[in-house]
């Protein structure tokens, strides 16, 4: 695990941008944090790092929003889902075979939706209105490598 404190939305987005540059097809990121923690801000940065040009917003009512960048990016929000069955109904498993980067907000609500290896990112409020603690928890060697590279790029930003 690696963690970093961000004191502004600009820094949180910049950390996401650096993470996005390290991600590739098949990568899955699960973002966990309470309402307003900054999950969508981080996703905006990740999408920017993947060369997504269009505005990124929370897909709360769509469940999955697709963006085009260096690779397809699927931005998902599990907040309004009640069960894994609802994901199965929209063909969730098929998204894993589409050579895309998958970013999931509120993934902790349906943990069975994830394969064994993914990157978990926990975001917590800290000091003030914009202070955040971001914790990067890799679930396989592949993501350990990504987190190590991210810490080299952003570790001095605190």
| CATH architecture of the domain with range 2-140 | 3-Layer(aba) Sandwich (3.40)
Q: How confident is the model at residue 117 (pLDDT cuts 50, 70, 90)?
A: very high
If we measure between CA atoms, which residue out of 120, 22, 103 comes closest to residue 56?
A: 103
pLDDT of residue 61: 74
Is 70 exceeded by the pLDDT of residue 158?
Answer: no
For residue 26, CA distances in Å to 55, 72, 73, 75, 121 come to 22, 10, 10, 13, 17
Domain boundaries in the chain? 2-140
Question: What is the value of pTM for the model shown?
Answer: 0.95
Structure confidence at residue 18 (pLDDT): 98
Average pLDDT score over the chain: 94
pLDDT category at 127 given cuts 50, 70, 90 is confident
């Amino acid at each position: 695990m690696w963690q970093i404190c961000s004191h502004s939305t600009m820094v949180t987005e910049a950390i996401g941008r650096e993470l996005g540059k390290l991600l590739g097809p098949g990568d899955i990121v699960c973002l966990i944090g309470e309402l307003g923690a900054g999950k969508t801000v981080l996703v905006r940065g990740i999408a920017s790092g993947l060369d997504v040009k269009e505005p990124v917003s929370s897909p709360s009512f769509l469940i999955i929003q697709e963006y085009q960048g260096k690779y397809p990016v699927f931005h998902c929000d599990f907040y309004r889902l009640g069960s894994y069955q609802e994901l199965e109904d929209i063909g969730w498993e098929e998204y894993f075979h589409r050579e895309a980067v998958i970013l999931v907000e509120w993934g902790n609500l349906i943990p069975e939706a994830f394969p064994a290896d993914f990157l978990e990112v926990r975001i917590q409020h800290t000091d003030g209105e914009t202070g955040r603690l971001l914790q990067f928890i890799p679930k396989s060697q592949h993501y350990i490598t990504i987190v190590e590279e991210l810490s080299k790029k952003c570790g001095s930003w605190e």
